[in-house]
Structure 1
């Protein structure tokens, strides 16, 4: 679209990030309280174990809420529209509604980067193991893309965005994997012909 400062792929990724953030925010609540320090310890009447707080989960939730509130405030002030509700769901719905305007803003790249960072931070909080264990699936099937497709090693947590992506940022949701498999096979056959 003319006047946009984000490419189509970045715009789609930003929308996917905004769509994923409410669920990631909610999922982080389950991680605020760490596991009991000694679950095998026998309780004494009148005492209880207090689980340690997970600072990473608290920080992630605070960052998500803060960054989304900041961008919603910018839209509200610059566009002269009513502010959304304070929940992360209301904030992301509001920002998705104004996404085309944000994509044309001077700070569009910063907005896209910040949503990427929020999603990455939430995923690290929810699955703190390093993401180095990836399985290579072949070349990306998107037209004109020659980057490598990879997925989480079997047994690893599948991310909210789908778990299969290329290094250029193309990603597929779980329900798209069967179609993706046939596209990978077709591209592989075309490359050997």
Structure 2
């Protein structure tokens, strides 16, 4: 008899909060087919990321040039601590899961190298997907992949202007710096003229209202700002899936530029103001 339940894998963990339905598991497993495939693919990517992190341990990043020297490394060359930490965690986490599989299945433990551990775990991916700890395995592997990507392929921060600083007499402009791979909560909207003029990004709707209210009545209408779904998710602390759903339901104005979609900031702000009022 085939029994299915709601999946608790990494890909389904946030479902519901952002409007997506949770997928169901396959057969008697604990993961849906998609999360099981992501688990296996993540294991395969970790072997590659481990090698890539090794290449940046001495401070070299993709696309950078470093002068070759004779006689070994010179003192004081930069050391990429993030890459070293990720590599150590890969060995530790993969070693723990490899030990669990080997012990419970009565198999010889694989050598404690990332290449051997990931290959061993991939061969046993179906068994892991049916294990009571499948959700934890899915989450830990996905977290390792994200950390490995950030360490191996660091992105420069992207800064976008939000408008004039609303503080009286301040000539500065507000900006928010984000990294696409690390949109952590709590980033600040900061004035480029006076760093003391700063607001946490979750106050953007309130701040934007004060900016509009502070404009002189005779002033020309403000130029419309256009934000990506990621920008909106960051500023309003909302899952990206919810942003796309609201954009469709509320018919936000949009523009396409260089293959990316941008949404009208005034439409977005009005939508989130209504939602905040409804909650209140």
Pairing 1:21–2:46 present: yes
Specify the alignment match of 1:86 in structure 2. Answer: 112
Whole-Å Cα distance in 2 between the matches of residues 115 and 52 of structure 1?
Answer: 28
Task: Please point out which of 94, 103, 108 is paired with 1:77.
Answer: 103
Specify the alignment match of 2:144 in structure 1. Answer: 118
Spell out, residue by residue over 1:65-95, the C-alpha distance to the aligned partner (whole angstroms, 9 max, x if none): 1100000000011111111122211101100
Whole-Å Cα distance in 2 between the matches of residues 57 and 25 of structure 1?
Answer: 9
Whole-Å Cα distance in 2 between the matches of residues 147 and 96 of structure 1?
Answer: 34
User: How do 1:16-165 and structure 2 match up within 5 A?
Assistant: 16-34=41-59, 48-129=74-155, 130-131=179-180
Whole-Å Cα distance in 2 between the matches of residues 48 and 108 of structure 1?
Answer: 46
Whole-Å Cα distance in 2 between the matches of residues 60 and 71 of structure 1?
Answer: 16
Deviation at 1:146, TM superposition (A): 11
Query: In structure 2, do the counterparts of structure 1 residues 146 and 54 end up closer, same or farther at CA, with 3 Å as the change threshold?
Result: closer
With normalisation by structure 2, the TM-score equals: 0.43
Unaligned runs of 5+ in 1: 137-144, 155-193
With normalisation by structure 1, the TM-score equals: 0.61
Deviation at 1:135, TM superposition (A): 7.7
Query: In structure 2, do the counterparts of structure 1 residues 16 and 135 end up closer, same or farther at CA, with 3 Å as the change threshold?
Result: farther
Which of 1 and 2 has greater Rg?
2
Spell out, residue by residue over 1:147-193, the C-alpha distance to the aligned partner (whole angstroms, 9 max, x if none): 96xxxx98xxxxxxxxxxxxxxxxxxxxxxxxxxxxxxxxxxxxxxx
Query: In structure 2, do the counterparts of structure 1 residues 146 and 2 end up closer, same or farther at CA, with 3 Å as the change threshold?
Result: farther
RMSD: 3.1
Question: Higher helix share goes to which structure?
Answer: 1
Specify the alignment match of 2:275 in structure 1. Answer: none
Secondary structure of the residue aligned to 1:13 is helix
Whole-Å Cα distance in 1 between the matches of residues 130 and 243 of structure 2?
Answer: 27
Query: In structure 2, do the counterparts of structure 1 residues 48 and 60 end up closer, same or farther at CA, with 3 Å as the change threshold?
Result: closer
Whole-Å Cα distance in 1 between the matches of residues 59 and 153 of structure 2?
Answer: 13
